[in-house]
Chain A
Amino acid sequence: MSLVLQGVASGVVTGCVYALVALSLVIVYKATDVVNFAGGELVMIGAYLGLLLLLWFQLPYIAMFALVPVAVFAVGALFDRITLRKVGGRALAKHVDLVSFVVATIGLSYLLKGAVRVVPFTEEVRRLPPLFSGPPVFIGDVVLQRQDLAIIAVTTMIMLALWLFFERTLLGKALRATSQNARAAALVGVPVSAMRMAVWGLASAIAGIAGVLLAPKLLMTPDMGAVVMLAFAAAIIGGFSSLPGCVVGGIALGVIQNLVGIFISPQAIAVTPFFVIMLVLLFRPEGLFGESLALKKV
């Protein structure tokens, strides 16, 4: 029994990381219709930037934690400004846009991975120091690291902050309006392209924070962006358009993976997220929290 409890507890923590990355993907998708295949690489450069700031510039941890989201915000916003605005500015059929957008983000993912890989330092696995260190915490038979608790706390805080932002601030409302109906939003005076840039920046910053949180736990290689597929699975479980759905989806996925590892076989862990994606899309394409797919934007 303690075996299962421990598996669930660790799964919740890992799931929170998946959820953070999934949040970043869903915010972008809702506002700009772009499926961001570079989401994982934004996590990766967040982590490596953190390491750079700590080791090279010798900054204190708290300064690094504040600077990384800013820097990754800039990467995302610039990518939207330079590339996506040009790609999306063309009046082509909708499907062409989707393909072009996806290919552009795949391009970004190779660009970022390639840029990190030319530094020989990244040839070896690295680890970022954890936010909190110290002896592990026991809850009954279950062991968790302090960093694990920090991950849960930060995820909760980001979730709350996002909720407040989208519900209570004018900027947040403008963003929501843009994502619901860009044309109508433009008519009432929302600067739509600035909004898109802000969304890309915001989503990238979240990915960057996820990188800093994840790096002590998952370790750093230029290929750590592969975690994006787990985030996609989390987002799909949650419906791909719901922010709370992401968190529930992420945690569900983290727990399911561990239960599969314990009860079926660790060999099957790798295929679990993809199996889950297929099952969800087969039986409940709108996810657990998503709005109906039939609801179309005007």
Chain B
Amino acid sequence: MTIGMKRLAGALALGIAAAGVAVTAKAQTPPGVTSNEIVIGLFGPLSGPLVAYGVDPLNAAKMVYDEVNARGGIHGRRIRLVIEDDKCNGNELVGVVKKLVTVDNVFILHGGSCTAAIAAAQEYVLREKVPFVMLNAAGDNAVFPATRYMFGSFQGTQRVYGSALAQFAVKDLKAKRVAIIVHDDDYGKANLAAAKAVVERLGGQVVAQERIPPAIADITAPVLNLRASKPDAILSGAYPAPAVLLAQKYGEFGMTAIPLLQSTQGMPTPSVYAKNVGNPDALKNLYHTWSFNDIADEALHKKWVDMYKKYYPDREPGPFMVTGIPSALAVVDTLQRMGRDLTREKFVEAMEKLNLKSDVMTGPLQFGPGRRDALRSVVVVKFDGKTQKVMPGIFAWNGKDGN
């Protein structure tokens, strides 16, 4: 016992001394910044059920940073990444954030693919005043209400998708009666609220709102409810598997005269979606939102895919790869604009002035005082199973509908 106590006391003394050293070192330069290096904590789900949303996007973000380093870094500093796996699990993500901030002493945090997990870390980063840039989460619950240190939604929030589809349905397709089907979760709630607000603002009527469980096995009942409401258009915020089930039943029940409008999360790769639906009839009247320019611009798509293959030769990029790019571009752009004088507070101020018109996204990536969601405009695409046609116009969310 006495030996144990002595050892414990020794370890504690060492720990306290180390902490003291860390504190004095902290006072001189901001954490994670040296004369030739900026440390960024990069994380996403690299294992577990949501791994699809993490590996490629994180690789893509890393690729953007690697390209910057290859061109000599930013104002003479190279970017060094500390990469962690958050499993899209709240408890785990909070642990990762605390590790990156207090053990790895990163300058900023860049990561997170799931809004609920990110929201769990929000209080901590606000208290510690560490800038947190989301990797590729839609992020509604983490950016509304806006907080000083959290930035995100680089492909648009669910509010943006719901609003875009509703505008397109009422204005372009002249729908009066609109039916909405979404998931029974935070994304679905936000999507539904925005779509409903827009439909009603534009003089239409929401005739059905179905909230379905994400793991639904038989989608017959909600689709029958949709049909019974006799809508002029159906808006869907479903995820990939239920989105396919929805389109199948919609085809089966002979509802194909009614336009079906799908938010982007339901069809990460449109061609795979079409193959899964398996019924060309069900795709006759299909539209979906899209946040990237790669449909209109084949060359752009090829550029990113080729670059990805250069960095990761043994991995075929999945559909979510591009979603990791815009947030990394925004971080790089902000660091470029800041010059050599880096502090976390100045990073927040510079990030707030972001107005990045990248060739990747359908709209500008912008923040502002009281605004922490980057992308507010998307396009609507008509997809018949083979060709994709970008419909004229950009559909912007007004910052109010559905809040």
Contact = CB atoms under 8 A, between A and B. Distances in A.
A219 B244 contact: yes
A116 to B, nearest CB: 11
B215 A219 contact: no
16 contacts: A7-B221, A14-B217, A14-B220, A120-B316, A120-B318, A123-B51, A123-B52, A125-B241, A125-B272, A136-B252, A218-B245, A257-B218, A261-B222, A266-B222, A269-B216, A269-B221
A120 B218 contact: no
B240 A261 contact: no
A176 interface: no
Contacts of B316: 120
A131 to B, nearest CB: 13
A134 B161 CA distance: 34
Classify chain A's interface size.
35 or more
B128 interface: no
Contacts of A287: none
B253 interface: yes
Contacts of B241: 125, 218-219, 221
Q: Would you call the interface of chain A mostly helix, strand, loop, or mixed? A: helix
A45 B389 CA distance: 37
Nearest to B213: A270
Interface in B311-336: 315-316, 318-320
Interface stretch (A30-38, A57-65, A68-76, A223-231): A223-231
Interface in A252-285: 254, 257-262, 265-267, 269-270
A3 B217 contact: no
A270 B184 contact: yes
B221 A260 contact: yes
B184 A14 contact: no
A278 B85 CA distance: 38
Given A221-B241, A269-B212, A270-B216, A257 B221 contact: yes
Interface in B213-233: 213, 215-218, 220-222, 224-225, 228
A145 interface: yes
Contact of B224 (A6, A120, A269): A6
Contact of A145 (B184, B225, B252, B268): B252
Contacts of B92: none
Interface of B: 49, 51-52, 55, 184, 210-213, 215-218, 220-222, 224-225, 228, 240-241, 244-245, 252-254, 268-269, 272, 275-276, 278, 315-316, 318-320
B240 A124 contact: yes
B228 A125 contact: no
B321 to A, nearest CB: 11
Contacts of A130: 278
B49 A223 contact: yes
Contact of A126 (B218, B276, B315): B276
A222 B48 CA distance: 10
B244 A10 contact: no
B140 to A, nearest CB: 19
Interface of A: 3, 6-7, 10-11, 14, 117, 120, 123-127, 129-130, 133, 136, 143, 145, 218-219, 221-223, 226-227, 230, 254, 257-262, 265-267, 269-270
A251 to B, nearest CB: 12
B278 A218 contact: no
Contacts of A230: 217
Contacts of A254: 218
Contacts of A222: 49
Nearest to A18: B217
A218 B217 contact: yes
Given A6-B220, A257-B217, A261-B222, 4 more contacts: A120-B318, A125-B276, A221-B241, A269-B213
Contacts of A120: 55, 315-316, 318
A124 B211 contact: no
A3 to B, nearest CB: 5
B160 to A, nearest CB: 23
Contacts of A219: 241, 244-245, 276
B52 A124 contact: yes
Which 7 A-B pairs give the minimum distances between C-beta atoms? A261-B221, A270-B213, A123-B52, A10-B220, A14-B218, A266-B222, A127-B276
A7 B276 contact: no
A143 B240 CA distance: 24
Contacts of A6: 220, 224, 253
Contacts of B268: 124
B182 to A, nearest CB: 10
Contacts of A127: 244, 275-276, 278
Contacts of A258: 218, 220-221
Contact of A143 (B225, B252, B318): B252
A262 B221 contact: yes
A222 B252 CA distance: 26
Nearest to B251: A136
A258 B224 CA distance: 10
Nearest to B48: A117
B238 to A, nearest CB: 11
Contacts of A123: 51-52, 318, 320
A4 to B, nearest CB: 9
Contacts of B55: 120
Given A3-B224, A223-B49, A230-B217, A266 B211 contact: yes
Contacts of B228: 3
B331 to A, nearest CB: 25
